[in-house]
Amino acid sequence: MWVAQHSLAIALALMFLGPVAFVTLTALMTDEQALTSRLWPEQWNWANFADVFARSELLTWTLNTFLYASLATVFMLVSSIPAAYALSRFRFRGRKAAFLVVISAMMLPPQVVAVPIYLVWARLDLTDSLWPLILPMLFGDAFSIFLLRQFLITIPRDYTDAAKVDGCSDARILFRVILPMARPAIAAVALFSFFYCWNDYYGPLLYAGVDQEGWTLSLGLATFKAFHSVQWNLTMAATLLVTAPVIIVFLFAQRVFIEGVTLTGVKG
Amino acid sequence: MMASTHVARRGHALARPSRRRPGEGLRALLWLSPWIAGVTVFFVYPLLSTVYFSFHRYDLFTLEFIGLDNYRYAFSDPRVLQSALNTLWLVVFMVPAQVVFALGVAQLLAKLKSGGGILRTIFYLPSLVPMVAGTVAFVYLLNPATGPVNQLLAWFGIAGPDWFGSAAWAKPTLTLLALWGAGNTIMIFLAALLDVPRHLYEAAAIDGAGAWRQFRSITLPTISPVLMFSAVTGVIYAVQYFTQAMIASRVASGATDSAGTTFTPGYPDGSLLTLPQHLFHTGFRDWSMGLACVHALLLFAVAMLFTLILLRQFGKAEVTS
């Protein structure tokens, strides 16, 4: 039984690692070999990675993606924490209804409202930039509000009640009591937001325009194959380069991730 | 022991209700005001506006009222039906496949006595790979001519299918990609499984319940809220499914989406054309924005339908457990 379970687990793990292994091997092949069916590089062509930088706007795309992801995340935190605070700590009429609106906004496919929102940004002359993806984050993000609220309701009222007795204002309670206790949830929500933006393809496809200077990594990688059509090795090298930062961040912030992921699974 | 289980447990200690203080509503309103503005501008207004535009012809320049013409056109457009069926396929096959697979892997990981830590990382990592990167990689790996997968299959004497190049295989192939990226769900299930009280299994074992019986009578009921939550989020995700399908079509067909080229979405044979993609192309490539709004309302109806069905089941599960 023990052996069976372990061999099954290891076999599955190999299948999960397989794609990464073959992508890496291909990324290191020469142009000619990548077109053949030989799987092991006969010559380790490390220059492929440098080639990717030389032949595409990868650096610009990385910078754009980083700006988009970090600005959106900071804006999201500034706007979503107060909303989650109100929804979890204040008793008022319409609180249930407000929470239902959060859930419905979270469930709404973004494509449903795309046309009117696009027209608003077009009127403001902000299409052909990433601002239509960043600025809305100043007004709260439903998924983040939901997750933060789920965490904040678990903080016992005694803490905030004690602070209230001491005459603390709402803002002071938020900054001095709630925020320090909610640090793991905030870190998780921030990471999710950052990764969501980093990986986002639909948003930039809609707004970033045709000029490659304004693209993100997802847009660039999506067209990479078309511009270097026979060079699977370069495409795979680019794929690895786009993936690497995400994996590095994960290895450093593993605990925050796993805690955050399980937080999403907790029922409301 | 994962730190996460503490988070899960804290979830049960709900805040005690306290008496309503005067002015609390106003103060809450103050804290909520940016979000209320956001909901109005990015949720309520565009929803109403979508209904308005659906009765108009609009191409960014001229706006013309045309009554139900967009609706008539959309419902006689075979691609609307095809894309709706494709999206339905994802909900009916991809989501359950992912939930069952993730539950199986999580169950396996929960039973392991050693090596669990590294395996957890291995199963989780692919879910972090950017969607575009993962899809491009899969198109390469499953490329029928030189891709490694079909070569490995050939060593075993199996003639591999055409994967992303075949209308019959394209959606199942995307499902494989979804299973590879199921790490999030696996971790959620694993945390839930580790939270099931051990003594329940011990008691059941004394009563002579086998592994399957224990799974059905103890594991499933205990983790059903988490399963339900994953099903709901899975369906929401499937209804908006866009990126992987679009990238797979594009890279497998070798087409670009830049100016001067025509890209027929959904390659091969429209088998990967999902409803959100059809909407995107109608609205933002053909600039038939009124027609796209009809697609949007259809997408909205599909999303609402599935969410309501699942939430109702969710409600029932809550009552019975």
Domain boundaries, chain B: 77-320
Q: Which of A260-264, B226-230, B308-312 has the highest mean pLDDT?
A: B226-230
Domain boundaries, chain A: 1-45, 57-265
pLDDT at B7 over 50: no
What pLDDT, on the 0 to 100 scale, is given for residue B316? 61
What pLDDT, on the 0 to 100 scale, is given for residue B22? 57
Cβ atoms B293, B53 nearer than 8 A: yes
What pLDDT, on the 0 to 100 scale, is given for residue A2? 76
Quick one: closest CA in B to A249, which residue?
B128
Q: How far apart are CA B7 and CA B21, in angstroms?
A: 30
The verdict on whether omega for the bond into residue B268 sits within 30 degrees of 0, i.e. cis, is yes
Report the gap between the CA of A20 and the closest CA in chain B (Å): 9
B2/A258 CB distance under 8 A = yes
Q: Is A244 on the interface with B (CB under 8 A)?
A: no
Which among A35, A115, A261 has CB closest to B292? A115
B56: DSSP letter: E
Which among A116, A218, A221 has CB closest to B46? A116
Q: Is A167 on the interface with B (CB under 8 A)?
A: no
Sequence-ordered list of residues with C-beta below 8 angstroms from that of A134, at least 6 positions apart, any chain: A68, A71, A72, A75
Q: Is B60 on the interface with A (CB under 8 A)?
A: yes
pLDDT at B32 over 60: yes
Residues of chain B neighbouring A229 (CB-CB closer than 8 A): 254
B53/A12 CB distance under 8 A = no
User: Which pLDDT band, with edges at 50, 70 and 90, does B13 fall under?
Assistant: very low
Q: Is A218 on the interface with B (CB under 8 A)?
A: yes
Residues of chain A neighbouring B315 (CB-CB closer than 8 A): none
A109/B239 CB distance under 8 A = yes
Q: Is A131 on the interface with B (CB under 8 A)?
A: no
Q: How far apart are CA A30 and CA A36, in angstroms?
A: 10
pLDDT at B8 over 70: no
What pLDDT, on the 0 to 100 scale, is given for residue B145? 77
Q: How far apart are CA A204 and CA A226, in angstroms?
A: 18
A90/B25 CB distance under 8 A = yes
Chosen from A2, A7, A16, A61 to mutate, greatest number of chain B CBs within 10 A: A16
For chain A (268 residues), the mean pLDDT of every run of 10, in chain order, is 83 91 88 78 84 88 96 97 93 88 88 94 94 96 91 86 86 90 90 92 93 92 77 89 90 79 58
Cβ atoms B70, B55 nearer than 8 A: yes
At B64, which amino acid appears? E
What pLDDT, on the 0 to 100 scale, is given for residue B4? 39
Q: How far apart are CA B282 and CA B259, in angstroms?
A: 16
Report the gap between the CA of B237 and the closest CA in chain A (Å): 8
B188/A108 CB distance under 8 A = no
Could you read off the pLDDT of B48-106 as tens digits, one per residue? 999 999 999 998 888 999 999 999 999 999 999 999 999 999 999 999 999 999 999 99
What pLDDT, on the 0 to 100 scale, is given for residue B210? 85
A109/B276 CB distance under 8 A = yes
- Residue percentage of chain B with pLDDT more than 90: 50
What pLDDT, on the 0 to 100 scale, is given for residue A231? 80
Which among B7, B126, B180 has CB closest to A266? B7
pLDDT at B25 over 80: yes
Cβ atoms B281, A115 nearer than 8 A: no
Burial of residue A211 (CB within 10 Å: 0-12, 13-18, 19+) is exposed
Which among A115, A170, A257 has CB closest to B296? A115
B121/A254 CB distance under 8 A = yes
The ipTM estimated for the assembled molecules is 0.90
Residues of chain A neighbouring B226 (CB-CB closer than 8 A): 265, 267
B146/A262 CB distance under 8 A = no
Q: Which fold has domain A57-265?
A: MetI-like fold (1.10.3720)
State the average pLDDT for chain B.
85
Residues 60-119 of A with CB under 8 A from B: 79-80, 82-83, 85-88, 90-93, 95, 98, 101, 105-119
Residues 42-61 of A with CB under 8 A from B: none
Residues of chain A neighbouring B18 (CB-CB closer than 8 A): 91, 157, 161
B37/A139 CB distance under 8 A = yes
Q: Is B260 on the interface with A (CB under 8 A)?
A: no
What pLDDT, on the 0 to 100 scale, is given for residue B19? 52
Residues of chain B neighbouring A41 (CB-CB closer than 8 A): none
B258/A235 CB distance under 8 A = no
Which among B43, B141, B283 has CB closest to A115? B283
Q: Does domain B77-320 have CATH number 1.10.3720.10?
A: yes
What pLDDT, on the 0 to 100 scale, is given for residue A30? 82
User: Could you tell me which of A237, A153, A117 has the C-alpha nearest to residue B18?
Assistant: A153
Q: Is B168 on the interface with A (CB under 8 A)?
A: no
B137/A115 CB distance under 8 A = no
B152/A131: higher pLDDT: A131
Q: Is B282 on the interface with A (CB under 8 A)?
A: no
Q: Is B10 on the interface with A (CB under 8 A)?
A: yes
A118/B284 CB distance under 8 A = yes
Q: Is B225 on the interface with A (CB under 8 A)?
A: yes
Contacts by residues B194-198 (CB-CB < 8 Å, ≥ 24 positions apart): B194/B2, B194/B5, B194/B110, B195/B5, B195/B8, B195/B9, B195/B222, B196/B222, B196/B223
pLDDT at B5 over 50: no
Where residue B115 falls (left for φ over 0; alpha for ψ -120 to 50; beta otherwise) is: left
Q: Is B110 on the interface with A (CB under 8 A)?
A: no
